[in-house]
């Protein structure tokens, strides 16, 4: 039974509710101490971080901060994109932590870049370069402001604590600032991951719907899965869910990359049957989906084309030219999901790690169907400002974190498969004999991945 309130009690209740609502949303934090609890030298103009609710699926972080322009702009970094290593530049950072030492680290740079890391225990990064919508809204000679919309599914479940930081300056003049510092005279170096310095945080400040279980993003990060969705036309029109193509990338076998495509079937004229098990060199004229993985120097790239009838092609790129005489094998299998609403084909491909260019750090994916006069081409990351689709445009590619699912990705050395085939992967002078991959050993590697996965 509900208690009855007299007018006075109701009045108090309304006030109490108003107080709860207003105190639980939007909170401002001023960073006035260094990481080891000294007062900063610009305490009159500190870094200000404001946290706000937005909606059930996202929250807002606003930053207003002095602009030191030191270190200078991160080289080669694109505005609005993740930049791995941003912590070596001028940044403002916010961390949210739960009681299982799982946390998300979100960094903002006055030049418009960001980086988001997921950590499962002290410094145990399980994912980086997740996407957020971050914009620098103003930047004058000595001040900048930025706003970010953060998907709530980047938070670990049941966040209870937070901390915020800022970095500026170079070399031994680098200044590390913390909202919640460690005690003065700490003998250790600055460490923003000192989780016991974090302080209690009411997550209702940012959440309208609680995050109390692991989101898909967290689960995928534990399991080593990357999900991509082709849901735009190549030049940016949004496609409905029925037309979207889903890609999943994972490395569980430990010997290769497994790429899974789930795509609507358009029943185009199928390509002529290719030699069974071998690549088919003109698949891009038919119904197909492709994944384009770009290496760390923005030159080498690997393209994998997959079709609904078991055809595939593997193309090695060096800048804008491809190795037209080298289309190596992979293992590829197609399954079907036929229902009254429509048919989807599920293609699963096993690609040896040796096919990857060194340091894969960005990707795009495309799908196409229909005859040439009415061909429809769709993209994961659309391009604007060009007149015709270019499925090998490295500028349209965006960050993918391969390293936490394949540690060998960090190796800057070209694999045997790339060595001797492109200018950036010369045969080592001292080798005395060419190191091109032995065909048989590659086939054996592929076969072993296949037996693990299929």
Ligand X SMILES: *[C@@H]1O[C@H](CO)[C@@H](O)[C@H](O)[C@H]1NC(C)=O
Element (H, E) at 289: strand 288-294
324 lines the binding site for ligand X (CB under 6 A): yes
Tokens representing 393?
């445009």
Q: Which residue number, 264 or 382, has a Cβ lying nearer to ligand X? A: 264
Q: Which of 62, 69, 120, 158 binds ligand X (CB under 6 A)?
A: 158
Closest CA to 333 of 261, 273, 227, 254: 261
Rounded to a whole number of angstroms, the minimum distance from the CB of residue 130 to ligand X is: 19
What burial class does residue 316 get, using C-beta atoms within 10 Å of its C-beta: 0-12 exposed, 13-18 middle, 19+ buried?
buried
| Residue 95 buriedness (CB in 10 A; 0-12 / 13-18 / 19+) | buried
Which long-range contacts (C-beta less than 8 Å, at least 24 apart) are formed by 181-189? 181/33, 181/34, 181/35, 181/36, 181/37, 182/35, 182/36, 182/37, 183/36, 183/37, 184/36, 184/37, 184/38, 185/36, 186/36
Of 28 and 267, nearer to ligand X (C-beta) is: 267
Q: Is the CB of 322 or the CB of 435 nearer to ligand X?
A: 322
- Using the contact rule CB under 6 A, the part of the chain among 107-115, 201-209, 335-343, 379-387 near ligand X is 335-343
Residue 372 lies near ligand X (rule: CB under 6 A): no
343 is a contact residue toward ligand X (CB under 6 A): yes
Report helix, strand or coil for 244.
Answer: coil
Q: Shortest Cβ distance from residue 341 to ligand X (Å)? A: 13
Decide if residue 181 touches ligand X (CB under 6 A): yes
Which one among 22, 140, 185, 340 touches ligand X, defined by CB under 6 A? 185
Q: Which stretch binds ligand X (CB under 6 A): 82-90, 206-214, 362-370, 423-431?
A: 206-214
List binders of ligand X among 22-51 (CB under 6 A). 37
Q: Which residue lies nearer to ligand X by CB, 181 or 382?
A: 181
Complete DSSP assignment for 171-187? GGG-EEEESSPPPTT-S
Residue (of 46, 55, 16, 54) closest to 28 by Cα position = 46
User: Which of 22, 140, 213, 430 is in the footprint of ligand X by CB under 6 A?
Assistant: 213
Interface region with ligand X, contact rule CB under 6 A, candidates 145-153, 159-167, 179-187, 414-422 = 179-187
Task: Determine if 322 is a binding residue for ligand X (CB under 6 A).
Answer: yes
At residue 111's C-alpha, the angle toward residues 107 and 116, to 5°, is 20
Task: Please compute, for residue 400, the number of CA atoms within 13 A of its CA located in the half-sphere on the CB side.
Answer: 29
**Site for ligand X (CB under 6 A): which residue of 3, 75, 141, 183?**
183
Our finding on whether 194 is near ligand X (CB under 6 A) is: no
Establish if 200 lies at the interface with ligand X (CB under 6 A).
no
H-only helix segments in 179-294? 216-223
Minimum distance from residue 313 beta carbon to ligand X (Å): 8
Q: Is there binding between residue 338 and ligand X (CB under 6 A)?
A: yes
313 with 302: CB under 8 angstroms? no
Q: Which residues bind ligand X (CB under 6 A)?
A: 37, 157-158, 181-183, 185, 212-214, 284, 315, 322, 324, 336, 338, 343
């Amino acid at each position: 039974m509900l208690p009855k309130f007299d007018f006075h009690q109701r009045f108090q209740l309304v006030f109490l509710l108003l107080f709860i609502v207003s105190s639980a949303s939007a909170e401002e934090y001023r960073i006035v101490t260094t990481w080891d609890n000294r007062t900063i030298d610009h305490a009159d103009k500190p870094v200000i971080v404001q946290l706000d609710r937005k909606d059930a699926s996202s929250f807002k972080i606003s930053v207003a901060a002095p602009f030191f322009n030191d270190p200078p702009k991160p080289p080669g970094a694109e505005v609005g994109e993740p930049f791995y290593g941003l912590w070596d530049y001028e940044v403002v950072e916010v961390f949210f932590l739960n009681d299982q030492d799982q946390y998300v680290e979100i960094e903002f740079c006055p030049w418009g870049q960001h980086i988001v890391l997921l950590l499962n225990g002290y410094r145990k990064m399980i994912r980086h370069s997740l996407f957020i919508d971050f914009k620098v809204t103003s930047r004058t000679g000595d001040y900048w402001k930025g706003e970010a919309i953060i998907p709530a599914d980047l938070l670990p479940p049941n966040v209870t604590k937070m901390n915020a930081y800022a970095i500026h300056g170079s070399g031994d003049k680098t200044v590390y600032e913390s909202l919640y510092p460690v005690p003065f005279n700490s003998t250790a170096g600055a460490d923003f991951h000192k989780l016991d310095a974090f302080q209690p945080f009411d997550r209702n400040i940012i959440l309208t719907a609680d995050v109390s279980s692991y989101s898909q993003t967290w689960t995928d990060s534990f399991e080593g899965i990357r999900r991509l969705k082709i849901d735009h036309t190549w030049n940016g029109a949004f496609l409905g869910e029925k037309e979207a193509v889903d890609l999943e990338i994972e490395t569980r076998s430990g010997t290769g990359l497994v790429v899974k495509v789930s795509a609507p079937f358009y029943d185009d004229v199928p390509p002529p049957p290719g030699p069974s098990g071998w690549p088919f060199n003109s698949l891009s004229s038919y119904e197909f989906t492709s994944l384009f993985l770009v290496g760390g120097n923005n030159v080498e790239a690997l393209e994998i084309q997959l079709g609904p009838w078991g055809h595939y092609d593997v193309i090695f790129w060096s800048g804008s030219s491809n190795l037209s005489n080298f289309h190596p094998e992979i293992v590829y299998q197609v399954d079907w999901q036929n229902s009254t609403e429509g048919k989807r084909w599920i293609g699963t491909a096993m690609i040896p790690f040796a096919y990857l260019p060194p340091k894969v750090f960005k990707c795009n994916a495309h799908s196409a169907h229909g005859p040439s006069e009415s061909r429809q081409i769709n993209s994961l990351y659309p391009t604007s400002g060009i007149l015709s689709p270019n499925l090998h445009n490295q500028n349209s590619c965006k960050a993918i974190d391969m390293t936490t699912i394949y540690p060998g990705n960090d190796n800057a050395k070209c694999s045997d498969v790339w060595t001797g085939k492109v200018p950036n992967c010369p045969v080592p002078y001292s080798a005395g004999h060419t190191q091109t991959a032995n065909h048989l050993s590659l086939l054996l590697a592929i076969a072993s991945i296949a037996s693990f996965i299929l």
